[in-house]
């Protein structure tokens, strides 16, 4: 925006000051409106858009401080910068002006060069704030459109994927009965891909709901030791199917923590699933709990391929990759890690990853320790 588009309101009860300022500002290319008292200024402000107000302090009936306070109280006006013009130069007067909402002040009698410089600076600051506000608005709108797109995609693809899964499973079974092993394997591959797509859509729904704030943690007091026992039972068979032992170190005594049990269990499940994907048969995975400087730390240790320093940096910055080197037959989007991190954060904690390439990864969930 250039100066020729700037609308400035000058408020002063002295005709000479109004004339001098109007002439000066018009000469610089600004568009100028004039008001001789506070009531007129407030009336004009509510009828027309302005980029800046030059406001006299000492005026009859409504002084400049009160005008500024009323501007600040009006949501439609409060973003307009106000520069006080005053013969008062005491500290208490300046403080009162700033407390009323002014962005600057200039002492009468003023130097026109100084006044123009302050006007220019505060117009540029306002336009910068306006640009940032506009960009933030656009980002919010884009984010809402993204959430809507994810919701539509996941909803509209749910039924077709279910049909593909049902028919491919039936086809694989019939082909196997007919002795067509190769064709049956191809149908089974279609079924597996459809299941992966369905899980991804489910994760997208969860992530979108967390990211938009529609899903919030509902914390309540729970026994962390009991939760770990349940998680161990739930995941033991899945690990055993890949010949990987899962050791859950369950504390003997109850551990009270305030958290959303379902959300916490899901986040730990996602981290365990990640450890399972990137572990090899014979190499156990361990889940333990400890106290550390006022935090309860749930740590999942695997002996997978680990993460290189370069990938770790990328992972910490964007979570755009899977957390470990992929093995043949194992694929990841990194979305599960994003979800786990968001779920832990929603419960007042944070997620930390550490890894040594070739030796494995540790995913640590830090939760606030209960009373």
pLDDT tens digit string along 93-141? Answer: 889 989 999 999 898 888 999 999 999 999 999 999 989 989 988 888 8
Distance CA 228, CA 222 (A): 11
How many domains are contained in the chain? Answer: 3
Of 191, 212, 233, the one marking the end of a domain is: 212
Across the chain, where does the E strand assignment appear? 7-11, 31-35, 52-56, 82-86, 104-107, 220-223, 246-248, 256-259, 285-292, 295-301, 350-356, 360-368
Q: Is residue 124 part of a domain?
A: no
For the cut 70, the answer to whether the pLDDT of residue 218 exceeds it is: yes
Indicate if 168 and 239 belong to the same structural domain. no
Minimum mean pLDDT among 92-101, 200-209, 263-272: which range?
200-209
Indicate if 181 and 232 belong to the same structural domain. no
Indicate if 187 and 306 belong to the same structural domain. no
* Coil, helix or strand at residue 213: coil
Give CA 165 to chain center in angstroms: 35
Backbone angles phi, psi at 253, to 5 degrees: -105, 150
**pLDDT of res. 319:** 44
Indicate if 167 and 33 belong to the same structural domain. no
Distance CA 357, CA 371 (A): 38
For the cut 90, the answer to whether the pLDDT of residue 348 exceeds it is: yes
DSSP letter at 255?
-
Q: Is residue 53 part of a domain?
A: yes
Pull the structure tokens for residue 50: 């302005």
Q: Is residue 322 part of a domain?
A: yes
DSSP letter at 6?
-
Indicate if 162 and 205 belong to the same structural domain. yes
Q: Is residue 128 part of a domain?
A: no
Q: Is residue 118 part of a domain?
A: no
Q: Are 275 and 254 in contact (CB under 8 A)?
A: no
Distance CA 336, CA 203 (A): 7
Q: Is residue 328 part of a domain?
A: yes
CATH classification at residue 82 = 3.40.50.2300
**pLDDT of res. 275:** 92
Structural domain for 9, as ranges: 3-110
Indicate if 306 and 359 belong to the same structural domain. yes
Indicate if 151 and 196 belong to the same structural domain. yes
Distance CA 29, CA 22 (A): 11
Indicate if 270 and 361 belong to the same structural domain. yes
């Amino acid at each position: 925006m250039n100066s020729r588009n700037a609308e400035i309101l000058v408020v002063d009860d002295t005709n000479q000051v109004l004339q001098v300022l109007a002439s000066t500002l018009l000469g610089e290319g600004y568009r100028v409106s004039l008001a001789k008292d506070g009531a007129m200024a407030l009336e004009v402000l509510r009828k027309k858009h302005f980029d800046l107000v030059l406001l006299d302090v000492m005026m009859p009936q409504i002084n400049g401080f009160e005008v500024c306070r009323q501007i600040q109280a009006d949501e439609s006006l409060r973003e307009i910068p106000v520069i006080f013009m005053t013969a008062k130069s005491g500290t208490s007067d300046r403080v009162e002006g700033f407390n009323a909402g002014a962005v600057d002040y200039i002492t009468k009698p003023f130097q026109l060069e100084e006044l123009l410089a302050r006007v220019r600076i505060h117009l540029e600051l306002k336009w910068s704030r306006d640009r940032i506000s506009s960009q933030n608005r656009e980002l919010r709108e884009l984010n809402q459109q993204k959430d809507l797109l994810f919701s539509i995609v996941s909803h509209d693809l749910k039924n077709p994927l279910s049909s593909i899964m049902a028919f491919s499973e039936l086809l694989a079974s019939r082909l196997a009965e007919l002795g067509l092993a190769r064709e049956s394997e191809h149908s089974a591959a279609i079924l597996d891909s459809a299941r992966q797509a369905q899980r991804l859509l489910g994760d997208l729904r969860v992530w979108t709901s967390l990211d938009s704030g529609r899903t919030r943690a509902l914390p309540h007091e729970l026994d962390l030791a009991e939760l770990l026992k349940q998680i161990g039972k739930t995941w033991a068979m899945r690990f055993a199917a890949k010949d990987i032992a899962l050791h859950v170190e369950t504390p003997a005594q109850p551990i009270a923590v305030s958290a959303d049990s379902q959300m916490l269990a899901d986040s730990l499940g996602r981290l365990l699933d990640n450890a399972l994907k990137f572990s090899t048969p014979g190499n156990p995975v361990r889940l333990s709990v400890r106290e550390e400087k006022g935090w309860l730390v749930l740590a999942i240790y695997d002996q997978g391929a680990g993460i290189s320093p370069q990938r770790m940096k990328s992972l910490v910055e964007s979570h755009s990759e899977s957390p470990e080197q992929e093995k043949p037959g194992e694929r990841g989007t990194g979305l599960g890690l994003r979800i786990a991190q968001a779920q832990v954060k929603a419960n007042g904690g944070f997620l930390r990853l550490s890894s040594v390439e070739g030796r494995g990864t540790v995913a640590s969930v830090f939760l606030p320790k209960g009373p």
